[in-house]
Amino acid sequence: MSEDRADKLHPVVQLAPNHKVGLALRNPAMPAAGCFGLGTEYAHMVDVETLGAIVVGPVTAKPRRGANPPRTVPVPGGVLLHTGLANPGVATVVRRYARRWARSPVPVIVHVAGTSPDEAAACCQRLSGVEAVSGIELGLPDTASGSAGSTDVDLLDDAVAVIQAARADTSQPLIVQLPLDSAPALCEAAVEAGADALTVAAPPRGTAWYASAGRFVTGRLYGPFILPLALRVLRQVAELVRVPLVGCGGIHNVEDATAFLQAGATAVQVSGGLWHDPACLARIARSLPPPAASQ
C-alpha cells in the first residue's frame, strides 16, 4: 500500500509523541501480543497492509520451553491459555525474524516479557539496535516478586524497576502493557518511569479445571467478556495520564474497537478475537473511524 493511499484512509496515529523518532501508525488497529506469533503465522490470512502495526512475541532473554500441557482450556464464552512464555529467546528471534520484519509494510512492535528488571534490560539491549523494530511493548509482572505476602507497594516498585531497566536499555519508543487489575494504580508511575504509551490492558488471569488432565490450569483469559472490564479500566487510566493509550481486551468487531477509541484510546489491539476470526482484524482496521473524529 502506498503512503498516499494509506494516509487518505486514516490520519496518522502517533503512539510516542514525545519520543525523538516517534511511533507513527497509519491505522489504529493492530494484533495483541501473544496472539500473532512472531509475524509470519498469519501471513496468508491477515492483510497486514491494512493494519497500523504488528505486535510480535512475547520474547524473553533466554529460550523458554513454555508450560507443560495442557495449555488451552475452553471456558464459557472464551478460552484460558497458559503458555509459560514459550519462545526461542530474543537473540534467536532477532536472528530468524529481523529480516522478515524489515520487509513488513507496517511497523513491528516487539513485546518483551518484563518478568524482572534484568530480563527486561537484556531483551531491550538486544533489540535496541535492530532497525526493523519500531517499538517495544513491555509486559509487567502482575504479581510482585515477593509473591504471597506482597503488597501493592511491592508491585508498584517491581513495575517501576522493570520499566526503568527497559527504558535505560532501549532507544525505541516504549509502550508499557499494564496488568488489568492494577492498571489505575500503576499508570502514573509507568509514565514517570519512561513509558511513551500504555497498553490497557494485559489479559486477566483465571483458573479453570481441566477435567481430562484432572488438574487446575491457571492462565490468561480471552473472550468477549473481557471487554467491559478492560473498557472500565481504560477510562480510569485515561483520567489519570496524558500519554497515548492502546485499548486491549475482548475486541472482536469494529463496535468493540470503536468503544475503546471513544473511551480515550489512541489505538486498539485485537487479542483472542484474532484466533476466532482472523479476518476480523483487517475488517476492524478498514472500518474504524479516524481517531480524531471518534473522540
Partner 1 sequence: MLQTDVLVKDVSESSPFVRVTFSAPHLARTLVAGRFVLADLGDYLRTPLFPAWSDVGGFDTLVPPDHPAADLRSGDSVNLIGPLGQGFEVPTTARRLLLVASTARLPVLLPLARQRNQGFGKNPGFSVALLLSAPTAAELYPIRLLPPALEVHVATTDGSAGHPGSALDLFPNLVRWADCICIAPLHSKDPATYPAIAEIVREVRVGPGRGFAQALVVPPMACGVGACQGCAVPVARGTKLACTDGPVFDLLELQ
> Which residues here bind partner 1, judged by CB under 8 A?
34-37, 41-42, 44-45, 65-74, 77-79, 81, 83, 86, 212, 222-223, 272, 274-279
CB of 3 to partner 1, least distance (A): 28
CA distances, 100 to each of 39, 40, 105, 148 (Å): 8, 8, 10, 42
Euclidean distance between CA atoms 257 and 244, whole angstroms: 15
- In terms of CB distance, is 272 or 291 closer to partner 1? 272
Q: Grid coordinates in use for 88?
A: 526461542
Collapsing DSSP states into helix, strand and coil, what is residue 175? strand
138: nearest Cα among 67, 186, 185, 95: 186
CB of 73 to partner 1, least distance (A): 7
- In terms of CB distance, is 167 or 220 closer to partner 1? 220
Strand ranges (DSSP E) for the chain?
13-14, 24-25, 29-31, 54-59, 72-75, 78-81, 108-113, 133-139, 174-179, 197-202, 205-210, 215-222, 245-248, 267-270
CB of 35 to partner 1, least distance (A): 6
- In terms of CB distance, is 83 or 125 closer to partner 1? 83
Task: Say if strands 215-222 and 245-248 run parallel, antiparallel, or are unpaired.
Answer: unpaired
CB of 84 to partner 1, least distance (A): 9
5 contacts: CB under 8 Å, gap ≥ 6: none
- In terms of CB distance, is 168 or 209 closer to partner 1? 209
- In terms of CB distance, is 80 or 191 closer to partner 1? 80
CA 177, 90, 35, 152 torsion-angle sign:
negative
- In terms of CB distance, is 76 or 149 closer to partner 1? 76
Euclidean distance between CA atoms 144 and 122, whole angstroms: 20
| Cis preceding-peptide flag for 201 (omega within 30 of 0) | yes
Grid cell 529467546 is found at: 89
CB of 32 to partner 1, least distance (A): 11
Overall size of the chain counted in residues: 295
CA distances, 73 to each of 70, 78, 168, 281 (Å): 7, 9, 38, 23
CB of 256 to partner 1, least distance (A): 15
- In terms of CB distance, is 11 or 210 closer to partner 1? 210
CB of 15 to partner 1, least distance (A): 23
- In terms of CB distance, is 276 or 286 closer to partner 1? 276
CB of 253 to partner 1, least distance (A): 14
CA distances, 158 to each of 49, 117, 120 (Å): 37, 8, 12
